[in-house]
Amino acid sequence: MTATSATTSSRAALLAARLRGVLDELVAHPLDALPVEVLQAQLVAVAPQAGRLEGWVQAAAGELDARTGGQLPTEDGRRRSVAGWLAEVRQDTCASASRQLRTGAALRTRLPLVAEAVLDGVLTPAQAAQLARLVGRIDDAALAESQQQLVLVAAGRDPASLAAWVSHQIATHCEPVLDDLAERGRARRYLQHRRDADGCLSGRFVLAAEDSEGFLAVLEPLARRDGLADSRSAGQRRADALVETFEQALRHGDLPDAGGERPRLSYVLPADWAARQGAADSCPDCGPRCGAHRPPTFAETVAAGLPGQPGVPAEHACATAAWSGPQTRARIETLLCDARISRVLLDEVGQVTGLETLTDSVTPAQRRALAARDLGCVVRGCTRPPAMCDAHHLQARADSGATTLGNLALLCRRHHVRWHLGKLTLRDLHVPWHPGSGSPVPDWVDRLAEAG
């Protein structure tokens, strides 16, 4: 090592030690002791320096990678990749370290002014990484000539909007690259889902750009806020819209066969559950004090789970859906209002005693009459059109409610479930034709609907 090299190394070590000292002093000061104005000023001063440090780490790692050819010697005489070493130093993944090295190399060799802008605090590393996407896709001479303008454009945009701007540049000047990116994006597509302990379905997915266009074109209009009283979050509205889309496909879509049969919702109603619900519906005294039709207690269902013990097993004490497991009565009643489902009855040992296809009890003529009369969901303030609504029995079918226009109203699925949960009443509906709200529907209207 020459004297110059030794001096440079000593100075670098001194600077690193001073930097550690400054950082130690900064983080040692209790934040809760600082006034808000001082804390805000410190954030304004420190945040850009953090970006500069990140840029320096990226530049230094890129320089190390270039000098060593991507391989570092080890103590046992072998060699290891700079990416693997950097991942260990940063406690990061090799994939992340490799991306950082590629970005650093692109900036160092093709966009040196952009790399300098990061070290000067003009650009953040995230902004520079977006500009690095242009390397290898736009002519090198054109890139070199436009570096100062690139810095000015990037400095005024956040990374997300800058990424879109870069994509427009690639589409304008290098369509084959855009085609390649689209193909790679499509190869990344996947959808994973799992059933959580509470029965909810959760997962992750990635859609290709061209596929996401149709997805969002359908989803976003359905996810708009439904009036001023809609208190759902944006995420909840999108979740409801996704469910609504699939329910529309089940109701109206031309779906492919599955094992020789069109897709159908199937619910298993154990005989004990169904008999108990039916008896409770017809019992005038049924309630908390009625012991004749009470559901099994927790101790009884636990005991029934033991080998050879009598009682109602937990799986026979409630209705069950094929995909989502145990169901509440409100959910079952919502579906039975206007459903195309199969009902399977089981005896006490789980043997099938009845298999019944429950076709839509509301005739097509009645659906057309409901659409003409209600013009959509009848909940005040809701704007869902008729095609996105269920035909709801105002007096439940389980309570001898008739399938007539006077007892039917259109409700979107969200409000339909809320009704059966007891969170909506007639006061929340715009049903001036209902006997409880105005004049009843004349008999000739039902006769006309039945005639089709």
Distance CA 93, CA 84 (A): 8
Three-state DSSP at 92 gives: coil
Mean pLDDT for the stretch of residues 425-449:
63
Same domain, yes or no: 43 and 152: yes
DSSP state of 255: P
Q: Would the pLDDT of 28 be above 50?
A: yes
Distance CA 219, CA 244 (A): 9
Per-residue confidence (pLDDT) for residue 149, from 0 to 100: 92
> Cβ neighbours of residue 154 under 8 Å, at least 6 residues apart?
114, 123, 127, 128, 130, 131, 162
Same domain, yes or no: 341 and 442: no
Distance CA 354, CA 274 (A): 12
Distance CA 298, CA 303 (A): 9
To the nearest whole number, what is the mean pLDDT of the chain? Answer: 77
pLDDT cut 70: percent of the chain above it? 73
Nearest residue to 394 (alpha-carbon basis) of 374, 368, 375? 374
Q: Would the pLDDT of 402 be above 90?
A: no
Same domain, yes or no: 299 and 343: yes
φ, ψ of residue 73 in degrees (nearest 5): -70, 145
Q: Would the pLDDT of 117 be above 90?
A: yes
Per-residue confidence (pLDDT) for residue 440, from 0 to 100: 47
Domain count, the chain: 3
How many CA atoms within 13 Å lie on the side-chain side of 343?
A: 18
Task: With respect to residue 271, please indicate whether it lies within any of the assigned structural domains.
Answer: yes
Per-residue confidence (pLDDT) for residue 448, from 0 to 100: 45
CATH of the domain at 423: 1.10.30
- As given in the structure block, the two tokens for residue 420 are 């059966």
Residue 336 CA to its chain's centroid (Å):
28
Per-residue confidence (pLDDT) for residue 336, from 0 to 100: 62
Whether 106 and 132 have beta carbons less than 8 Å apart is answered as yes
- As given in the structure block, the two tokens for residue 136 are 């290898």
For 212-365, strand residue ranges (E) read 265-270, 319-321, 325-327, 341-346, 352-358
Same domain, yes or no: 148 and 52: yes
Same domain, yes or no: 124 and 94: yes
Per-residue confidence (pLDDT) for residue 113, from 0 to 100: 93
Same domain, yes or no: 416 and 384: yes
Per-residue confidence (pLDDT) for residue 280, from 0 to 100: 61
Same domain, yes or no: 394 and 336: no
